[in-house]
Amino acid sequence: MNKVLFIVEGVKTEIGYAKSVIELQKELLSKNGNKSDTIVIESYGTLIYDLYKKINDLPNKDEFETIPLLREILEKKNKDKDYSHLDDIDSFSEIFLFFDLDAHYYKKREEEVAITTVIEQIGEMLNLFNESTEKGQLMISYPMVESIKCYSNEFVDFDKKRATISFYPIFPDVHFKDASKLFCKRFPDYNKRPYNIDEMISLIKYFTLCSEYLTGSFYLETITDSLEIFNNQHKKFIFDQKKVMLLSAFPQFILYTFGNKFYDGLSDIKENILGDRWEFSFYDFD
């Protein structure tokens, strides 16, 4: 059986969400009588900008193989951990990388320099990790993985075609982790763990609506395209308004991997979500 490698940024939160997504994937596949591939989760342990630096320090950054490079980095960080399960790189058919935008990493720099740096480095990484069967497919959470918690059932009214889309400053005074905790207290209806299948489907529908608004496209290939999402984030919001639309990489992954058949089969998607008759309101918080 083929294996799939998940590289997640953190050591706890991201792994928890990744496991929820894996369970959803298994459940969806089992309904069609299919079995899912074995998914191996590895935590990178720090920000995407660290991975960017290590790749750019390579003699030829275009010719590396992701799994051996990852193993070398992880073994230096965690000397007592065994990574021999990554030996057989040919047994992995796909690689997915889940990282945060984490623009606040450059907050201490002059603002325009910081924004330009974020745009250049994330853009390079998305161009490099643009195919799951090669170096890997990078998926970004905006601004951080905790964006998956910042959703309320109040945000979407399918009958009235009204939706609320959330934004957050890229260089905030309040760390997004703290802001997301306050959000969960204000909107407690959706913040149970772990997610069940109905909750995950609601998140996928919400992601679809937000990404359609962001990219201006109805096509699955566009609304799940990491580079397309990022280009629209920085052109419409990061550069001029110094904020990002909240988007989670995990609903994006489900849509990306299951494809048009799954997308077309979601109730409320084709008939009720996609189209220009929606009324949007916006939730800015910090």
Digit-coded pLDDT (tens) for 149-188: 888 888 988 888 889 999 999 999 899 999 988 888 888 7
Q: Please give the Cα distance from 198 to 216 (Å, whole number).
A: 26
pLDDT tens, residue by residue, 158-169: 888 889 999 999
pLDDT tens, residue by residue, 41-66: 999 999 999 999 999 999 887 789 99
pTM above 0.85, yes or no: yes
From the CB of residue 153, how many other CB atoms can be counted at a distance below 10 Å?
Answer: 12
Question: Exposed (0-12), middle (13-18) or buried (19+): which is 117, by Cβ within 10 Å?
Answer: middle
Q: Which two tokens stand for residue 11?
A: 């050591």
pLDDT tens, residue by residue, 217-230: 888 899 999 999 99
Of the chain, the percentage scoring pLDDT greater than 90 comes to: 51
Question: Alpha-carbon Rg of the chain, whole angstroms?
Answer: 19
Q: Are strands 162-169 and 130-131 parallel, antiparallel or unpaired?
A: unpaired
Q: Which two tokens stand for residue 82?
A: 């065994």
Assess whether pLDDT exceeds 70 at residue 260.
no
Domain ranges of the chain: 3-284
